[in-house]
Amino acid sequence: MTQFSCASKPRLRTLLRERRQQLDIRTRNSAALAACEHFTTLPAWLRALRIALYMPMDAEIDTAPLAARCRAAAKQLFLPVMGEDRRLDFAGWEEDTPLHRNGYGIAEPPATAPRVEAGELDIVVLPLVGWDRQGSRLGMGGGYYDRSLAGINGPLLAGLAYSVQEVPHIPWQEWDIPLDVVVTESGTYRGHRNRAAT
């Protein structure tokens, strides 16, 4: 991991996106299934009724196995929707909800889908480019999740990732929202928030 140790955030994004994109489809599918299994061992999973997932893009780890498990367990699902001021709203996602592409090409529910505040969710599953074992998350750089989750103490914040996206240290800024837990195909890793729910 030497090349990642002192890299800036933009450089880390480039290196880690390349690393993620180099995974073959069989490895990606296997990782998504294994991560789903680890996710459902979290104590928070048993209590959770409302879970926000994401629609994967750019070789992000697939949430389809986890979505299927959520539906089988009668969990209510939500997806992030681009809102005003570069913030995210969370819209209900039924299995038959028609999705459309936003300006970033990410599928999201229509404007008619019911919305909830982030604080009303039990678990928010976040995509990421990189992560470290202190709970730091490197996203795509837009800051949407950081703005949307600032000051929110309710939901468990769970990063979903491949183990190859781990780095020793991600540069930290005061507005960055830390993760409670990171779930990969290899297992679960508590962040420094370290709440009992993990």
- CATH number where 167 lies: 3.40.50.10420
Average pLDDT of the residues in 111-120: 92
Within a domain: residue 82? Answer: yes
In the chain, helix, strand, coil percent, each to 5?
A: 30, 20, 45
Domain that holds residue 169: 2-190
Distance from chain centroid for Cα 49: 17
Q: What is the pLDDT of residue 22?
A: 96
Within a domain: residue 196? Answer: no
Q: What is the pLDDT of residue 197?
A: 40
Q: Name the pairing type of β-strands 50-52 and 76-82.
A: parallel
Within a domain: residue 124? Answer: yes
CA distance 128 to 130: 6
Cβ count near 120 (within 10 Å) = 13
Within a domain: residue 195? Answer: no
Q: Which two tokens stand for residue 173?
A: 């800024």
Q: How many domains does the chain have?
A: 1
Within a domain: residue 197? Answer: no
Q: How do residues 163-172 score in pLDDT, each as one tens digit? A: 999 999 888 7
Q: How do residues 148-157 score in pLDDT, each as one tens digit? A: 898 888 899 9
Of the pLDDT bands very low, low, confident and very high (cuts 50, 70, 90), residue 185 is: very high
Q: How do residues 2-58 score in pLDDT, each as one tens digit? A: 455 556 888 888 999 999 999 999 999 999 999 999 999 999 999 999 999 999 999
CA distance 8 to 191: 21
Q: What is the pLDDT of residue 196?
A: 39
Cβ count near 188 (within 10 Å) = 15
Return mean pLDDT, the chain. Answer: 89
Q: What is the pLDDT of residue 195?
A: 41
- Calculate the alpha carbon distances from 75 to 39, 45, 52, 127 in Å: 14, 10, 10, 20
Q: Which two tokens stand for residue 74?
A: 């009668």
